[in-house]
C-alpha cells in the first residue's frame, strides 16, 4: 500500500513542479543576465580579493605567491597608520553626517514652505551634488592653498593671521570635512524634501487646531513621520563617509606624513603604489566588515526606534 501511495503522489508532484517552472521560468530568465554580471563583476573579484589577502601576492605574471594566512590582518591591526586612518574617518563621519543631516533638514523645511525663489534656492543647493568630486576637490584645494588664497585673504580682512591649512592634521581635516558637507547637503535636502511632502497636511492642521505651535508640530508630527527616511539618510551618509577617498587623494594625498590618511586611501597606496596587494586587500576586507557592523547597528537602532514609536 505504501508503494502504491508513493506512485500515485509522484505524478502530482511532477505536475506541480512543471507548473511552477512555467510560471517562474520567465522571471528567472530575466534575472539570469543580471545575476551573471553580478557574479562576474562583484562575487568573483570579492572571492579573489579575499584569497589575495591571505597571501604575499605578486602582480607579476608567473610570480611567486606565498600563503601567509592571517598575517596581513595581524599586520593591519598593529599598524598605527591604519588606526590613525580609522580615527580620521571617524572624525569625518561624525562631522559630515551630523552637519549634512542638520543642514539638509533645515533647507528642506525652508523649501517645503511657501517662500519666494525656492526653485533657484533648490538649484543652488543641489548643484554641488552633481558636480564632479575631482572638480570640487581641486577647487577647494586652491581656495585654501597659500597665504594669498581666498580663505586666508578673507581671514586677513577680519584681522586674523593666515593658516597653513595643509601642514597639519586637523587643519587639513577641516578642509576635507568642509568639502564633504558642502557637497552632500543637497542630497540630504532632496531626500528630506520628498519625505516632508509625503506627510499628510491634515496631521498639521489637526495639531494646529489643538493649539500646537510650530516647534511642537515639527517635533511631534513631522519628525515621527519622516523617521524612517532619517535613518535611511544616516545609513547612506555613514557608508559614504567611511568610504571617503577622492577628496583626500586630491587635497592632501594623506599628508603631511600620513596625518590625514583614511582607510580607502591607505589601502589604495599599499596596493597600487607599493604593490603590496595582499596587505591592501586585508585592509579592504577589514573596512568592509567595519562598515557592515556599523550599518547593521544603525538598522537595529532604527527598527527599535520605529517599534517604540508604534507601541
Read off the pTM.
0.86
In a domain, 62, yes or no: no
Q: Which pLDDT does position 13 carry in this prediction?
A: 66
Q: Is residue 223 part of a domain?
A: yes
User: Roughly how many angstroms between the first and final C-alpha of the chain, as a whole number?
Assistant: 55
Asked if 265 contacts 245 with a C-beta cutoff of 8 angstroms, the reply is yes
In Å, how far are 71, 182, 238 from 132, measured between CA atoms? Answer: 38, 13, 20
Nearest in space to 163 (alpha carbons), one of 153, 173, 251, 248: 153
173 pLDDT tier (thresholds 50, 70, 90): very high
Domain range for residue 265? 71-310
Q: In this structure, is residue 60 part of a structural domain?
A: no
Are 45 and 75 in the same domain? Answer: no
pLDDT at residue 3, rounded to an integer: 45
3-state secondary structure of 117: coil
What does the mean pLDDT of the chain come to? 88
Q: How many domains does the chain have?
A: 2
Mean pLDDT, residues 244-250: 94
Residues 147 and 11 in one domain: no
- 176 and 217 share one domain: yes
Same domain, yes or no, for 90 and 215?
yes
Residue of 140, 227, 133, 262 whose CA lies nearest to 187: 133
Q: Is residue 125 part of a domain?
A: yes
Q: Are residues 36 and 185 in the same domain?
A: no
Domain identity same for 25 and 93: no
For 51-76, write each residue's pLDDT tens digit: 999 999 888 777 788 899 999 999 99
Longest dimension (CA), the chain: 101
Residue 109, pLDDT > 80, answer yes
Amino acid at each position: 500500500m505504501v508503494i502504491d501511495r508513493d506512485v500515485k503522489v509522484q505524478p502530482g508532484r511532477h505536475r506541480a513542479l512543471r507548473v511552477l517552472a512555467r510560471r517562474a521560468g520567465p522571471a528567472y530568465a530575466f534575472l539570469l543576465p543580471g545575476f551573471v554580471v553580478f557574479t562576474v563583476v562583484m562575487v568573483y573579484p570579492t572571492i579573489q580579493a579575499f584569497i589575495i589577502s591571505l597571501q604575499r601576492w605578486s602582480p607579476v605574471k608567473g610570480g611567486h605567491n606565498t600563503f601567509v594566512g592571517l598575517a596581513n590582518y595581524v599586520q593591519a591591526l598593529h599598524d598605527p597608520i591604519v588606526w590613525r586612518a580609522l580615527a580620521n574617518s571617524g572624525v569625518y563621519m561624525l562631522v559630515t553626517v551630523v552637519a549634512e543631516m542638520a543642514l539638509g533638514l533645515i533647507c528642506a523645511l525652508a523649501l517645503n514652505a511657501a517662500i519666494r525663489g525656492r526653485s533657484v534656492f533648490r538649484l543652488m543647493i543641489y548643484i554641488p551634488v552633481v558636480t564632479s568630486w575631482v572638480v570640487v576637490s581641486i577647487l577647494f584645494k586652491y581656495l585654501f592653498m597659500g597665504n594669498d588664497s581666498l580663505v586666508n585673504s578673507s581671514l586677513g580682512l577680519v584681522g586674523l593671521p593666515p593658516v597653513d591649512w595643509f601642514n597639519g592634521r586637523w587643519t587639513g581635516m577641516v578642509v576635507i570635512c568642509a568639502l564633504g558637507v558642502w557637497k552632500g547637503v543637497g542630497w540630504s535636502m532632496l531626500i528630506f524634501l520628498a519625505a516632508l511632502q509625503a506627510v499628510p497636511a491634515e496631521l498639521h492642521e489637526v495639531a494646529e487646531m489643538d493649539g500646537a505651535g510650530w516647534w511642537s508640530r515639527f517635533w511631534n508630527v513631522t519628525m515621527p513621520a519622516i523617521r524612517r527616511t532619517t535613518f535611511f539618510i544616516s545609513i547612506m551618509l555613514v557608508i559614504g563617509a567611511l568610504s571617503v577617498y577622492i577628496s583626500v587623494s586630491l587635497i592632501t594625498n594623506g599628508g603631511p606624513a600620513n596625518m590625514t590618511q583614511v582607510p580607502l586611501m591607505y589601502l589604495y597606496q599599499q596596493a597600487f603604489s607599493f604593490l603590496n596587494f595582499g596587505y591592501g586587500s586585508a585592509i579592504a576586507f577589514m573596512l568592509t566588515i567595519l562598515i557592515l557592523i556599523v550599518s547593521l547597528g544603525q538598522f537595529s537602532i532604527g527598527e527599535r526606534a520605529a517599534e517604540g514609536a508604534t507601541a
